[in-house]
Amino acid sequence: MKKRMACLVLLTALLLLAGCAKAASKEGVWVAHGYLRDQCIAEIDGVRYAFIGSEENPEQRVYLAQLDQNGEKKRLVCSKEGCAHEQQGRLADPCHAYSAVTGGLMAADGKLYAGSHNGEMGVVEFDPEGGPPRAVLTAPQRISCFLVQDGWIYYAQQDQTFAEPALRAPENGYRMLRRRLNDDGAEPEKVYERGGVVGYIACAQCIGDKLVLTEVYLEDEDAQDASMNLLRMNLDGSGGELLAASAGGHFAAQVESGLAITRKNEDGSWTAELLDTAGAKKAELDRSQDRMMVCGQMNTVLVDSGAQLAPRTLRVYSAAGEKLGECALEKQYSPLLGMDERYAYYWDGGKLISVDWKKLIP
Ligand SMILES: [Zn+2]
């Protein structure tokens, strides 16, 4: 009897542990690109990193720092001996944590990667211990987005003509390329290309084992508003398909039932939607005149109603599409940075704000 009890206790403990291991995942889901440029947060083994401003210039996010539990600077990612860090000259032999960030920060295989302009445009790899940063990609133009995945670097070059009507050259088109991360002499492979149109790729994500891209383009050269599509393909670029038209929102969030996305409708409104894994719409979560943002983690979707129009709200949905709660957001908060099992994250100036979305569920 005693033995049986012990077994039961052990079994219960194991079940609890298994349950806990799943529920207690504190790892965040972070927006690495798109509407975020130098504001991204990346995470390695539960440790979070972000570019922050110097004491003299808090607005200019150029120093890579490890964040403490409150989202404040714990240390700069620099182990250089005798480095004066923020006081170190930036031109010759700068602090290892310094980077002229151009867009995006992500973690892969224990390293950090940022779009950077340290002399040349490209992507720089940072050692979280603070060793010297390494340029893993240099390019003649700004990188509009990149992704490091399974030893490859995927990158799209920004078409500078997009914002300059006089310079628009549809014949240039736009493309997503990839090459082995550690082989900078290799000729890049074309993963996706579209010609005859002015545009760029705003966001690249790996969802499941697929590459998911948000392309932004102009229907014609004189168009005022850009169109967007969410595309999905194999990591080598084969089997490409349109996952969702007029959709992307620069970020698609994976949840247990499929994908959460935002879509621009013909009447100019925006919707936040749930798609099944084939891309079919399962539920409309929310509708706004503003550009909405979504983030998701397993059984939860967060929808930010957008930063342009008052009032700004954060709504919490189940992965089945049921609205669970909401709260008001300060209008001056940054775009949505990401989420974890309890909080949604925003910058308010140089300060990281955690919004307790869990508390919003009655
Ligand atoms: Zn330093």
The pLDDT assigned to 2 comes to 46
The total of structural domains in the chain comes to 1
Distance, CA 73 to ligand 1 centroid (Å)?
14
Would 278 be classed as within a structural domain? yes
Distance, CA 229 to ligand 1 centroid (Å)?
41
Would 246 be classed as within a structural domain? no
pLDDT at 252 exceeding the cut of 80: yes
Would 249 be classed as within a structural domain? no
Q: Quote the strand ranges of 225-319, DSSP E.
A: 227-234, 241-245, 253-255, 258-264, 270-275, 281-288, 293-297, 300-304, 312-318
Q: What is the mean pLDDT of residues 49-56?
A: 90
Alpha helices per DSSP H over the chain: 2-23
Would 190 be classed as within a structural domain? no
Would 164 be classed as within a structural domain? no
The pLDDT assigned to 249 comes to 64
Taking the CA of residue 360 as centre, how many other CA atoms within 13 Å lie in the half-sphere pointing to its CB? 23
Would 261 be classed as within a structural domain? yes
The pLDDT assigned to 268 comes to 86
Taking the model in full, what pTM does it have? Answer: 0.89
Would 300 be classed as within a structural domain? yes
Q: DSSP 3-state assignment of 224? A: coil
Range of the domain at 341: 254-362
pLDDT at 44 exceeding the cut of 60: yes
Distance, CA 355 to ligand 1 centroid (Å)?
32
Residue appearing with tokens 């891309």: 279
Positive or negative, the CA dihedral 296, 289, 361, 321 is negative
Distance, CA 307 to ligand 1 centroid (Å)?
35
CA distance 24 to 22: 6
Say which residues have a Cβ less than 8 Å from residue 152's Cβ, sequence separation at least 6. Answer: 178, 179, 180, 181, 235
CA distance 181 to 192: 18
Q: What value does the mean pLDDT of the chain take? A: 88
Distance, CA 80 to ligand 1 centroid (Å)?
6
Would 113 be classed as within a structural domain? no
Q: Which two tokens stand for residue 5?
A: 């009890």
| Higher local confidence (pLDDT), 103 or 161 | 103
The pLDDT assigned to 159 comes to 66
Q: What is the mean pLDDT of residues 270-285?
A: 93
Residue % of the chain over a pLDDT of 90: 63
Distance, CA 205 to ligand 1 centroid (Å)?
31
